[in-house]
Amino acid sequence: MNRFGEMHCSIAQAVGVVAEPWTPLILRDLFLGLRRFDQLSEDLGISRNLLTQRLDRLQAAGVVEKVVYRERPVRHEYHLTEAGRDIVPALITLMAWGDRWSTPPGGPPAVLVHSCGERFTPRVTCPHCGGPADADTITVVSGPGAAQGPGTMVLARPD
């Protein structure tokens, strides 16, 4: 267990669920269509025990659901829930960062193609003006849930 869940911060809460070692890769594989435990274990080379722990944690957080695909003997698949599908834009943005700053030899191992048929690199933009949303263009201010506690010194400063 980690202390991220105790922090009054959305990033810390998210990290507590999806940023443990192996978890982003499990989510990637589920998004790419691997559904069965043996497929995930084989593709990632992860121990069965550790994969079980990560999948159980993702299920408890509501990010992954276990679905029966055969009754006799009982066999399950793992599917992304709505919360799991909502993490995909963050995963592909992380992928774009990796492609730019730590590309494996030979170039990016995958490219993204939008439903319009065009290749693209994800970019975070402002939904109002369409401009880039990056370290040079955004300001963070306290939100309605800002509170003092571990990991919140910057956002919970008294005015």
- In contact, 2 and 16? CB cutoff 8 Å: yes
Per-residue pLDDT of 20-34, as tens digits, reads 889 999 999 999 999
pLDDT at 1: 47
pTM for the predicted model, two decimal places: 0.86
Alpha-carbon distance values, 114 to 92, 119, 120, 121 (Å): 12, 6, 7, 10
Per-residue pLDDT of 100-158, as tens digits, reads 999 888 999 999 999 999 999 999 999 999 999 999 999 988 888 777 777 766 665 55
Backbone angles phi, psi at 126, to 5 degrees: -75, 130
Q: Which of 22, 11, 27 is nearest to 86 (CA)?
A: 27
Q: Which CATH architecture has domain 3-86?
A: Orthogonal Bundle (1.10)
Helix axes 48-60, 23-31, angle to 10 degrees: 80
* In the chain, domain spans: 3-86
